[in-house]
Chains A and B, each alone.
Chain A
Amino acid sequence: MNPDLRRERAAATFDPELITHLLDGCPEKTRRRREIENMILNDPDFQHEDYNFLTRSERYEVAVRKSASMVKKMREFGIADPDEIMWFKKLHLVNFVEPVGLNYSMFIPTLVNQGTTAQQEKWLHPSKGLQIIGTYAQTEMGHGTHLRGLETTATYDPRTQEFIMNSPTVTSIKWWPGGLGKTSNHAVVLAQLITQGKCYGLHAFIVPIREMGTHKPLPGITVGDIGPKFGYEEMDNGYLKMDNYRIPRENMLMKYAQVNPDGTYVKPVSNKLTYGTMVFVRSYLVGEAARSLSKACTIAIRYSAVRRQSEIKPGEPEPQVLDFQTQQYKLFPVLATAYAFQFVGSYMKETYYRINDSIGQGDLSELPELHALTAGLKAFTTWTANTGIEECRLACGGHGYSHCSGIPNIYVTFTPACTFEGENTVMMLQTARFLMKSYDQVQSGKLVCGLVSYLNDLPSQRIQPQQVAVWPTVMDINSPDSLTEIYKLRAARLIDIAAKNLQAEVSHRQSREEAWNLTSVDLVRASEAHCHYVVVKLFADKLKIQEKSLQAVLRNLFFLYSLYGISQKAGDFLQGNIVTGSQITQVNQRLLELLTVIRPNAVALVDAFDFKDETLGSVLGRYDGNVYENLFEWAKKSPLNKTEVHESYYKHLKPLQSKL
């Protein structure tokens, strides 16, 4: 092991193993996770290809092979629990994305949620065994998050009892669905249902797209790969164009809405249930934000302990770059954020399962708030993580730009989370809609509950954005409760401002949509402040249940996270007179002290995330810290180095030098 890393680990003031248990949930879960990981690593069938040296087509091939073998292996190892499946996948796929992933994450769940028993009998078994490989085709070339704008049509023909599927325009071509380009033979297609001359909005249809056996596109279907992307190289995101393509009536998923053989449309009872899947996926993305950011932090912090550069004290050997205040100022807030998001992620997961249970018992009351909260938190955490990952990459200097660092891949794999499953600005505005509704409710004298209950205090406080000294200046920078309170006040203030501006615009304009648009920058800001408060609150809650040995470590991270936020958004706090100028001075001073306090534990804090080197996929972030030797070995593996004189010399350079 690199001596610098060994020294770092010996100097830590706590046992990282205990934090690992905390992050996993309990020691038993850590044990089981490692057991599964070791099963994979000890399996002679497990191959570790470095995707960096493969072409897109080779990557796709490896990914398909891994997907296929994974189904077999999971059965063999008896893995069925959702957490266990995730652990298994993460290591088995070693950062490859899965071309058949949507079969499991979208096709089957949609079938289960929206299909009748008969439909499930017909399609569920073959899709679980991958005879049917399904994908989920919603997004179109010209239409994304605004679902009502989708153009694909399914027109019912009572004579033959079939739906005629059509992509009427270029913009209506289904675009982006994963696994659609080359892999899938079926798709759940979202289309505008037209029957008896009337459009009934979006419904889901099972559409066979490739012939079983030959895998050739069926007549009437144009399907293919949408071309190269920023990341997800091994994923065949695809397009689908349908020309008068007919499917039987039974291929419309009819658990809720139905079309009778004569073409009569039968309305669904409630469509709130479809929220469930969205909420699940979005809360999963919050967890992904935490995991991706934790990986990037692990790499950057370990590398910063190994890399030496420049001088702090003249004449002394070059210091570890982690000793520079500027490097700590870059990385430690990101580290604290990774921890904060880990806790938010597990909260979201628990809440989802809890609420899912009550939904199962018919209680939908908590769904609107959860829906609003997941939208905003998805946007807040993915945006922040996106910036944080890039910060980690830049903190690795030039080597961060090489694929050897592994961070470019983390970034490009993670960044679509800002657009898919709901574009982030639109998500923030959904949360804002809920906040405005709650605000109006409070204004009309009703109380609101849940995480927005702080709005109940607004009327009594009569916040005037320009009024001085409304807020009691209570901040105690050593108290998590006080800091949470500060964030709450900021959120309340910004929500109040946005609501008042919205009202002012409404009174000036004819349309509410227009007024909403002209307030949207304020609304997004209000949602962000609300989400920021929620993250701080959830982090603070986590401090209460800790055993003593970890408390100090986690408290420091909490203080760093919350004080850094105050420092970055000082304007919001100062302008609302929530804190004073001299308190900001105090905050900034304390921040610098915290960097020094966290410094000795930095490596142990990323070790606690417990990523296997295989999962990190990084030469710079290796557990043993032997960076330079392995960097050289890695580069030598590049196909360009196979021969000493590259073929391009004979083709281009030699003639250039001789003829010019």
Chain B
Amino acid sequence: MGGRAHRVSLGDAWSRRVHPDLETERHGQGFDVERLTHLLDGGAQNTVLRRGVESLVQGDPDFSLIHNYFMTPNERYEAAIRRRVLLHRKGQRLGWLEDGLQFHYAYRAISGDVTFGVHGIATKAIQSLGSEEQIAKWVPLCKTYQIILTYAQTEMGHGTYLQGLETEATYDTATQEFVVHSPSMSAIKWWPGDLGRSATHALVMAQLVCSGTRQGIHAFLVPIRCLKEHSLLPGVTAGSIGPTMDLDHADNGFLRLDRVRVPRENMLNRFAQVLPDGTYIRFGTAQSNYLSMVVSRVDVLVNGVLPTLQKACVIAMRYSVIRRQSRLRPSDPEAKILNYQTQQQKLFFPLAMSYAFHFQLASLQEFFRHSYNTILNKDVSLLPELHALTTGAKAMITDFCTHGAELCRRACGGHGYSKLSGLPSLVTQLVASCTYEGENTVLYLQLARFLVKNYQRAQQAVGPTSQKSLPQSVAYLTLPHLAKCPAQGAADFLCPELYTVAWAHMATRLIQDAVHHLQTLVQSGAEQHEAWDQTGAILLQAAKAHCYYLTVKNFKEALEKLDSEPAIQQVLKRLCDLFALHGILTNSGDFLYDGFLSGPQVNMVRTAYLDLLPLIRKDAILLTDAFDFTDLCLNSALGCYDGNVYERLFQWAQMSPSNISQAAAVQNRALWREKNKWEDLHTPAVSYRKRALC
């Protein structure tokens, strides 16, 4: 595996040799890891490109993430700006395209630990919601960082429920300006990234009031800091919201606007416009403005959430073949902990998720590409399904990935509690995702609304044409009803068709239960909204089952396309089986409840599931190697490619400031500050020479 040489490792003497316990795991492959990597990258050419970018980044000590562990939040923020600037310059020098793959891979290589992530999201929001003139005016300024944006939506007292936002933008016909105002304490914008210290402009989501009428949420570009001195503009109060669990580079901030005036042209007007006289014109539907959220949700899942879980799997899996504990046979040495059934049960589900969600997101992105352009052209017919798919995917994937990463962390015993394992920060990055970009329970309920509506449509129109009229993701609601699972033995449960049908049945039944519950309540006199709330727990369950079904179905379909790669197909199929069966076992009550599965069948599922564990065990390390993360990006003492866990843990701990004598600490700090000096960045030759001397 010469191609992987650059993975080994961070230049330490003991890291030239791969730990034998890890080495043996990589022998006797049942499949070609390299080909699986190509598959995950979307083609061999992408793998080459990615590794090229990674080696550029890897070779540059400025991109090292290891010092993060010993920095204050403020230092981390500064290091993240610095990385952003360096990366930008590197990209310019090498002619990387703004939205090209190279930048994408570079972010991945440094775990996205750069500032101005929200600046990027807000820039995209201008592209989705702005008119052509607005895009032409603002986007170039953003791309060259002449202005730095934040996306100011969430308020202290209001989150996912957008209609509840209090910030107002009232049109003043006399001056042709909007007056943007935070009317109360709870209306203060709270949480937006890049706002605390960086942003010069805010894309403020506010209630538009014109000619005395409220027209709902619209986006306004509001300058907040002076472009010369960076001081706050009159009427603006802004700052940092204080320490959070992680994401120090995100620079989360607050923003209070006291009747700040912006010109009429600062309202983004692709989908709606206010004429000089205050007349309001809408081009799209009221939901069109949500398009920017769909864009950023997909982006967050693909680039932020899923790779974070995958890294947790890599770290936990590698550590589990190095760590030995107790004996399996009295005469043997202590066993690798990955040989314990309980450890396999803990880790293989997150591993299966890592692949399941990869394929699910691939299919989501395909649908997204297909529908996005039609929506931009103001054909919104696909928007409801796009919205349902992204809300469901967002809720389920962030939910499961968070849970999976925490499982991985705890599976590493005490060392999983050390930040040097890398796992705590993976977990704290992920847990944020359960509430940002839409709180998951609320999202599941939004999806449930879509499901209920389509279920009712499917009921109303029975016949051959009905299936066509349903969006593809809910077409299964019209499938012929299957009352009992036909499986006769454990082996039958290793059939993707069979368990996909089982999940379709489960989702359909739960949606049906929810609809039934709703109807019963309404018939007994409850009002519609009341009935909806009183069915919340059931709706939630139904939406979750639907998401599980979709994930299983996508995984199954992805496997079907792998006929030309039988070895990879076989090993991935085991993960698909495990994913589907794990869900059946944890929800066995639901499957038993209506007799779809019998007691003996649940035992078969259990047998099939437990028998999968030793099969996956053989390939476990290769399956995580295939994600092909560099050591730099894993930034974990436990999870490096070479497996020299204990040496690295000991060495990294020595770097802790608390272990450096007072004199040395002062010196170190001075060195660090020196290193941070801006001048360095502008005299690359000098800094290069300095580095060469080190």
Residues of A within 8 A of B (CB): 52-53, 55-57, 60, 139, 141-146, 149, 170-171, 173, 175-176, 181-182, 224-231, 236, 239, 307-314, 318, 323-327, 329-330, 390, 393-394, 397-398, 400-404, 408, 412, 415-416, 418-420, 423, 425, 429, 465-466, 468, 511, 513-514, 517-521, 524, 567-577, 581, 584, 591-592, 628-629, 631-632, 634-641, 644-646, 648-649, 651-657, 659-660
Within 8 Å CB of A175, what residues of B? Answer: 414, 649
**A416-B414 contact in complex given A310-B442, A638-B243, C-beta closer than 8 Å:** yes
Across-interface contacts of A144 in B (CB, < 8 A): 325, 413-414
Contact A228/B419 with A144-B325, A394-B435, A401-B435 known, Cβ cut-off 8 Å = yes
Contact B536–A520 (Cβ < 8 Å): no
Which residues of B have CB within 8 Å of A465? 599, 603
A173 and B146 CA atoms in complex are apart in Å by 53
Which residues of chain B are near A628, meaning CB under 8 Å? 156-157, 185-186
Contact of B676 with A646 in the complex, beta carbons under 8 Å = no
Say yes or no: A227-B185 contact (C-beta < 8 A), given A146-B325, A571-B587, A653-B148: no
- Write the nearest CB–CB distance from B581 to chain A, whole angstroms: 13
Known: A312-B533, A402-B243, A420-B414. A170 touches B647 (CB 8 A): yes
What separation, in Å, do the CA atoms of A466 and B144 have in the docked complex?
69
Q: Which residues on the B side are within 8 Å of A591 (C-beta)?
A: 537
Minimum CB–CB distance for B366 against chain A, Å: 31
Q: Are A401 and B245 in contact (CB under 8 A)?
A: yes
Question: Would A517 and B339 count as touching, CB distance under 8 A?
Answer: yes
What A residues does B534 contact at CB under 8 A?
325, 592
Rounded to whole Å, the gap between the CB of A262 and the closest CB of chain B is 33
Residue of B nearest to A315 (CB): B529
CB pair A313 B658 closer than 8 Å: no
Could you say which of B417, B534, B588 has the most chain A C-beta atoms within 10 Å of its C-beta? B417
Q: Indicate whether B687 reaches chain A with its CB closer than 8 angstroms.
A: no
B contacts with A: majority SS: helix
| Total residues of chain B contacting the partner, CB 8 A | 123
- Interface flag for B589 (CB, 8 Å): yes
Point out the residue from B190, B439, B536 that lies within 8 Å of A325, measured CB to CB.
B536
Is the Cβ of A425 less than 8 Å from the Cβ of B653? no
Q: Is B48 an interface residue (CB 8 A)?
A: no
Chain A binding surface SS class = helix
Interface string of B639-656 (1 = CB under 8 A from A): 000000011011011111
B residues 404-457 with Cβ under 8 Å of A? 406, 410, 413-414, 416-420, 424, 427, 431-432, 434-436, 439-442, 445
Tell me the complex Cα distance, A636–B188, Å.
13
Q: Is B231 close to A, CB under 8 A? A: yes
| A-side contacts of B602, CB under 8 Å | 571, 575
Cβ contacts under 8 Å, B183 to chain A: none
Interface membership of B159, Cβ < 8 A? yes
Known: A226-B418, A230-B424. A652 touches B529 (CB 8 A): no
Give Cα A226 to B587, complex, Å. 41
Q: Choose among A466, A637, A656 the residue that contacts B242 (Cβ–Cβ < 8 A).
A: A637
User: In the bound complex, what is the Cα–Cα distance between A329 and B536 (angstroms)?
Assistant: 9
Of the A-B pairs whose beta carbons lie under 8 Å apart in the complex, a sample of 8, sorted by A's number, is: A142-B646, A397-B435, A429-B342, A466-B599, A518-B341, A573-B589, A637-B242, A655-B678
Sorted from nearest, which 7 A-B pairs have the closest CB atoms? A570-B589, A571-B588, A325-B536, A230-B424, A310-B161, A640-B240, A326-B536
What's the minimum C-beta distance from B245 to chain A, rounded to whole angstroms? Answer: 5
Which stretch from B66-74, B265-273, B566-574 is at the chain A interface? B66-74
- Give the docked Cα–Cα distance between A569 and B654 (Å): 47
Q: Is B432 a contact partner of A181 (Cβ separation < 8 A)?
A: no
- Which of A324, A466, A513, A652 lies in contact with B329, CB distance below 8 A? A513
Chain A residue nearest in CB terms to B648 = A170
> Do A326 and B537 have beta carbons less than 8 Å apart?
yes
When distances are taken between beta carbons in the complex, the residues of chain B under 8 Å from A632 are 156, 185, 188, 254
Instruction: List 17 other contacts, CB 8 Å, given A394-B435, A652-B81.
Output: A146-B334, A170-B646, A227-B69, A310-B160, A326-B445, A326-B536, A423-B413, A567-B589, A574-B588, A574-B599, A575-B592, A575-B599, A632-B185, A638-B239, A648-B197, A656-B81, A656-B85
Interface centre among A143, A226, A311 (most CB of B within 10 A): A226
Task: Tell me if A403 and B245 are in contact (CB < 8 A).
Answer: yes
CB distance B589 to A574 under 8 Å? Answer: yes
Residues of B within 8 A of A310 (CB): 160-161, 164, 442
List of B residues within 8 angstroms of A397 by Cβ: 159-160, 435, 439
**Interface contact A398-B436, CB-CB below 8 Å:** yes
Given A224-B658, A402-B241, A646 and B678 contact (CB-CB distance below 8 Å)? no
- A652 contacts which of B85, B164, B346, B417 (Cβ < 8 Å)? B85
A650 smallest CB distance to B (angstroms): 8
Q: Decide: B654 and A224 in contact? CB cutoff 8 A.
A: yes
State in angstroms the CA–CA spacing of A400 and B428 once bound together: 12
The answer to whether the Cβ of B523 comes within 8 Å of any Cβ in the partner chain is: no
CA distance A308 to B184 in the complex (A): 14
- The CA-CA distance from A478 to B385 in the complex, in Å, is 44
Known interface pairs A225-B653, A416-B417. Does A511 touch B599 (Cβ–Cβ under 8 Å)?
A: no
Cross-chain contact of B74 among A224, A309, A313, A639 (Cβ < 8 A): A639
